[in-house]
Structure 1
Amino acid sequence: MPLEGEVVKVGQQSIHMIVLGFASAFIADEDIREDFQYKIKHGKEVYISRSDKKHRIEVGTTLRFSVKSFDEEMLHVCGSLIPTNTGSVQWLERKAEESQADSVTEKSISNKRPVEVLETDNLVPYSEKLKSENHIKKSRRSKNRDS
């Protein structure tokens, strides 16, 4: 079951969050995808995705994770970032919008009619469009404009 929480502490061994404003949640390093790499950037501890550098988990990030277990007495949740539909909510929503836009584009491309290939037999040569005295025929509109 997916759940969202706000990250309050990031460490090399774990990520700690607050869920629903009062329950604590914990994700151990073995439950963090291999794609995420722990780093210290500008004095802040952060997990950064190797596949997309914009996918970051740091203090203040709203994180979507799957629930592994729940302790009712302590109101403590153990979670996991192993499933692909987990991570920073902001990044996940942006990716969902992009993939939806891509699918709409693909549908519009596939719905277009195929381009018809012109056959040379059906084409009228340019010379036949000329009058006998080798003047280009003008439409009535262009004749009226010239006057």
Structure 2
Amino acid sequence: MEGLSVAKATLSAFLHPSRSADVEEGVLQLLSSLLLRYNEEFDGVVLAYFDIKVCDWTPKILSGLHPYLSLKLKAKLLLFSPKPGMLLEGTVNKVEKDYMGAIVLGIFNAAIAFSDIHEDFSYQDNVNGTPFWASTSNNHVIRLGSKIKFVVKSVQEESFLDICGSLKPPNTGCVNWLLSSLENIPALDSERKKQKNEKKRERIIENMGDEVKDDSPSRKELRADYINESEYKQKSKSKRKDRDTEIRDGSKDNKEFSAEHFYERDHKHKSKRKLNADIGAKDGGMVSNEFPADHFHEREHKHKSKRKRDAGDAIM
């Protein structure tokens, strides 16, 4: 909760000579006198103290008619310093027509005037005569014992704090109602997102036109063509994969497949070479005929060597 803080303090303690026999007890009694009172030096109310360290265990006697023992000590103090605009929690202990009262931290009084309660709330009584404040637009109810959150409007800093609060800001009210509202936020966001996606889908369908709507024949034909094309690509890919696997395995069938494959390639190359030789003989006479024969003989020897290597790699 806002307004709570821990401060490190260096204090000067003045003990009565009667405490000289037990200095530690005298220090604790002195610190206890600071509790639950507003302290201008710390700008807040001291709620508790801890981690006490006495810096000098040799107290000095002050001069005067009533000499006291002076020593220095360090301690950590838990302070409550509410300021205007802070958000505090309290328990409702009074419900009246003109104001609402609450207890903060079980100690400090807070008052919320009728003018500082949201306009949506109204004062009502149930069948038993128990008063409460309820919202007219939702199930937000504040009654005796309800834990509320309110914003500090002003603070009167005397020996004891008097706090004035407000229930007009949107993040104020009954704690249970505020928590239930937060739990409903994810569900509301999900519903809004669903509605947004549905509207987006409707806009896309409208832009596509009547011919490509879900129930139109053209839409069904497009889907069928897409599915057939996908299946064809998948089958072709599967066939290539199976053929590559069989070639790597080196089985008898693969050897026959490889021999037939390379025999077919050899036949094509021979036909092409014969055609080129005939063309060369017609163009260049005897000399032209001899040159293509030697040239293609050398090329045939290279192709045979390459086919043998390729066939051996495929079988392996």
Aligned residues: 123
Q: Quick check: 1:72 aligned with 2:157?
A: yes
Query: How far apart, in 1, do the equivalents of 2:162 and 2:173 lie?
Result: 19
TM-score, reference length from structure 2: 0.36
Query: For each residue in 1:105-141, what CA deviation from the matched residue of structure 2 results, as whole angstroms up to 9, or x when unmatched?
Result: 32355467837632312436xxxxxxxxxxxxxxxxx
Query: How far apart, in 2, do the equivalents of 1:90 and 1:83 lie?
Result: 17
Which among 82, 88, 92 is matched to residue 168 of structure 2?
A: 82
Query: For each residue in 1:47-94, what CA deviation from the matched residue of structure 2 results, as whole angstroms up to 9, or x when unmatched?
Result: 111111x21111100011111011232212100011122111111111
Instruction: Determine which structure has greater relative contact order: mean sequence separation of CA pairs < 8 Å that are 6+ residues apart, divided by chain length.
Output: 1
Within a 5 Å distance, the mapping from 1:15-94 to structure 2 comes to: 15-41=100-126, 42-52=128-138, 54-73=139-158, 74-94=160-180
Query: How far apart, in 1, do the equivalents of 2:111 and 2:219 lie?
Result: 73
3-state SS in 2 of match to 1:114: helix
Which among 186, 209, 212 is matched to residue 100 of structure 1?
A: 186
Could you list the runs of 5+ residues in structure 2 that have no partner in the other structure? 1-85, 206-212, 222-316
Displacement of 1:32 in angstroms is 0.8
Displacement of 1:6 in angstroms is 0.3
More strand as a share of residues: 1
Query: How far apart, in 2, do the equivalents of 1:55 and 1:69 lie?
Result: 25
Q: Quick check: 1:114 aligned with 2:201?
A: yes
3-state SS in 2 of match to 1:102: helix
Displacement of 1:3 in angstroms is 1.1
Q: Provide the aligned C-alpha RMSD in A.
A: 2.0
3-state SS in 1 of match to 2:189: helix
Query: How far apart, in 2, do the equivalents of 1:109 and 1:58 lie?
Result: 38
**Identity among equivalent pairs (%):** 39
Query: How far apart, in 2, do the equivalents of 1:90 and 1:64 lie?
Result: 10
Query: How far apart, in 1, do the equivalents of 2:171 and 2:186 lie?
Result: 15
Between Structure 1 and Structure 2, whose CA radius of gyration is higher?
2
Shift in CA distance, 123/101, structure 1 to aligned 2, threshold 3 Å: closer
Letter in 2 for 1:14: Y
TM-score, reference length from structure 1: 0.74
